[in-house]
Chains A and B, each alone.
Chain A
Amino acid sequence: QKEVEQNSGPLSVPEGAIASLNCTYSDRGSQSFFWYRQYSGKSPELIMFIYSNGDKEDGRFTAQLNKASQYVSLLIRDSQPSDSATYLCAVKEGDYKLSFGAGTTVTVRA
């Protein structure tokens, strides 16, 4: 199984601040990367995907990919209490499988 590493956190940020989440992966051939959000007791839901180097923005979320460094990150701007969740980084393996990191727990303080 390919390795996907995330800081487990918890990451605590004040409301309105930027939350920065990091993910590294071991397979240099990986092409597609996904961020999922998981609220406590719920199942993961897709936030966004990225497959090109650089930044990709979707609302308050920005994913950043650097394939040379094998690094993908997620920025949450203007963090809200509703953003408090565990964020899972996933890397696609081949045609079918995703390898998941253990997740970073984010707490947004009101």
Chain B
Amino acid sequence: DVKVTQSSRYLVKRTGEKVFLECVQDMDHENMFWYRQDPGLGLRLIYFSYDVKMKEKGDIPEGYSVSREKKERFSLILESASTNQTSMYLCASSFASSGFQETQYFGPGTRLLVL
């Protein structure tokens, strides 16, 4: 079974704080992703990484950065948290294969509240 874990289920932070969200997968997946999910907006891709130290912007990268120093670990960083970054953050991973059936597996999510 694919296992994707996230460092926290719930976080409460203050505006302006630097926030780190960590994600670890144990299936040797090459690709890792960070999404946020908001009611009515669905899943929106923030950043993804297809290899160690590689990163690509997703659809909403503003206000975020990422780090991937090891294959199994992908961190999302909120440089200066703002209230509009209150959301559910989901990490996912997948194999590098371009096969039709390759899909993403999600972690349990981190619900972040910025006050």
Residues of A within 8 A of B (CB): 1, 8, 31-32, 34, 42-46, 49, 51, 88, 90, 92, 95-98, 100-103
Contacts and interface: CB of A to CB of B under 8 A. Distances in A.
Contacts, number: 52
Contacts of B104: 98
B106 A102 contact: no
Interface of B: 31, 33, 40-43, 45, 48, 50, 56, 58-59, 90, 94, 96, 98, 100-109
A88 B35 CA distance: 14
Nearest to A31: B100
A1 B96 CA distance: 21
B101 A49 contact: yes
A32 B101 contact: yes
Contact of B108 (A8, A42, A46, A51): A42
Contact of B42 (A45, A92, A97, A102): A102
Given A42-B108, A96-B31, A96-B50, A101 B103 contact: no
B42 A101 contact: yes
A44 B91 CA distance: 11
A32 B100 CA distance: 5
Give 10 closest A-B pairs by Cβ, nearest first: A102-B42, A51-B100, A43-B106, A100-B43, A95-B98, A32-B100, A43-B109, A100-B42, A1-B59, A44-B106
B28 to A, nearest CB: 16
A102 B108 contact: no
B38 to A, nearest CB: 10
